[in-house]
Amino acid sequence: MRCDVITLFPEMVAPVLESSMLKRAREKGLLEVRVHNLRDYTLDKHKVADDVPYGGGAGMVMKAEPIFRAVENIRQPYERHGEQVRLLLPSPQGRPFTQEYAHQLAADSRPLLILCGHYEGIDERVRVALKPEEISIGDYVLTGGELAALVLIDAAARLISGVLGAPESLAEESFSEPLLEYPHYTRPAEVRGLSVPEVLLSGHHEAIRLWRRKQALRTTQERRPDLLKDRELTLEDRRLLDEIIREGVRYAGVCGGGG
Ligand code: 4GX
């Protein structure tokens, strides 16, 4: 996966790419990300990349010309090799980002070029001329597109074969399925008087599989019933869900949390 990021704040992006799994993916050559400072594409001596909005009002708008120059300069070497780039623009007005969308980005052979808007946004003429694919990572407002760009890169990169340790951790994970995760435990067997469910220490693989399946179904039923609605259930899942319903609600769900 190849990715170029255009931003006025490269320092917001670079450290995340130099940590954890994304760092390792880059070291393995599975992920290539280059961060470009939009200021480098300005032409005036003060390197101005934003300006006040026509018509007045609060905030600043990113100027069109530096963005055009950045996109053209970054695209050029790819196009000389006969490659099209996929231009992405994180924005609350974009198409909602989902796990399926992440798969689609990961599977695309084209390099991704992510344009990060900051402040109030970008001059509308950039949208008109370059027709970027607008993506929203959720219905809330960020200070800029940088964190959203990192979300896109992170979610897509981990789907590339070889980025995660074991391939099965991808196959059985939530949202590919889509079920929420079952609870995880690691050593010691008791901490602060809290123990690990007996079945996980039993070594009975089938009993463990069923327990995990049931927990995943329980959490999904309680917190995200929308994920189970209109879904074909196997006989096994149906039976586990019946048990769960008979046992009653154990987790207060979103009502008891921040919601
Ligand atoms: N999911 N923001 C982008 C500035 C902006 C506005 C319009 C381009 C066009 C966001 C989100 C998000 C805040 C990033 C506004 N840039 N991005 N920024 N939610 O809130 O993706």
CA distances in angstroms from 125 to 6, 65, 169, listed in the order given: 17, 10, 44
CB 12 within 8 A of CB 146: yes
Q: Whose CA is nearest to atom 15 of ligand 1?
A: 144
Q: Does the beta carbon of 1 sit less than 6 angstroms from any atom of ligand 1?
A: no
The per-residue pLDDT for 177 is 76
Which pair of structure tokens corresponds to residue 67? 């963005």
Contacts of 205 (CB under 8 A, 6+ apart): none
Q: Which helix (H) or strand (E) holds 34?
A: strand 32-37
The per-residue pLDDT for 203 is 98
Q: Does the beta carbon of 15 sit less than 6 angstroms from any atom of ligand 1?
A: no
The per-residue pLDDT for 165 is 81
The per-residue pLDDT for 216 is 98
The per-residue pLDDT for 174 is 47
139 CA distance to ligand 1 centroid (A)?
A: 10
Contacts of 99 (CB under 8 A, 6+ apart): 155, 175, 176, 178
Give per-residue pLDDT as tens, 195-237.
999 999 999 999 999 999 999 999 999 999 999 999 999 999 9
Q: Does the beta carbon of 92 sit less than 6 angstroms from any atom of ligand 1?
A: yes
The per-residue pLDDT for 257 is 46
The per-residue pLDDT for 128 is 98
Which ligand 1 atom lies nearest to the CA of residue 127?
A: 9
d(CA 214, CA 217): 5
Q: Whose CA is nearest to atom 9 of ligand 1?
A: 121
d(CA 259, CA 255): 6
E-strand ranges in 38-176 read 50-51, 61-62, 86-96, 112-115, 133-136
Ligand 1 binding pocket mutation candidate from 91, 146, 147 (most atoms within 8 A of CB): 91
Ligand 1 binding pocket mutation candidate from 140, 142, 146 (most atoms within 8 A of CB): 142
Contacts of 127 (CB under 8 A, 6+ apart): 89, 134
The per-residue pLDDT for 178 is 86
* DSSP count for the chain of H helices, then E strands: 10, 9
Q: What is the mean pLDDT of each run of 10 residues along the chain (259 residues)?
A: 98 97 98 98 98 97 98 98 98 98 98 96 98 98 98 98 78 68 98 98 98 98 96 96 90 50
Write the single-letter amino acid at 237.
D
CB 159 within 8 A of CB 153: no
The per-residue pLDDT for 253 is 53
90 CA distance to ligand 1 centroid (A)?
A: 5
Q: Could you tell me whether strands 112-115 and 50-51 are parallel, antiparallel, or unpaired per DSSP bridges?
A: unpaired
Which pair of structure tokens corresponds to residue 172? 């059985």
Query: How many Cβ atoms are within 10 Å of 213's Cβ, its own excluded?
Result: 16
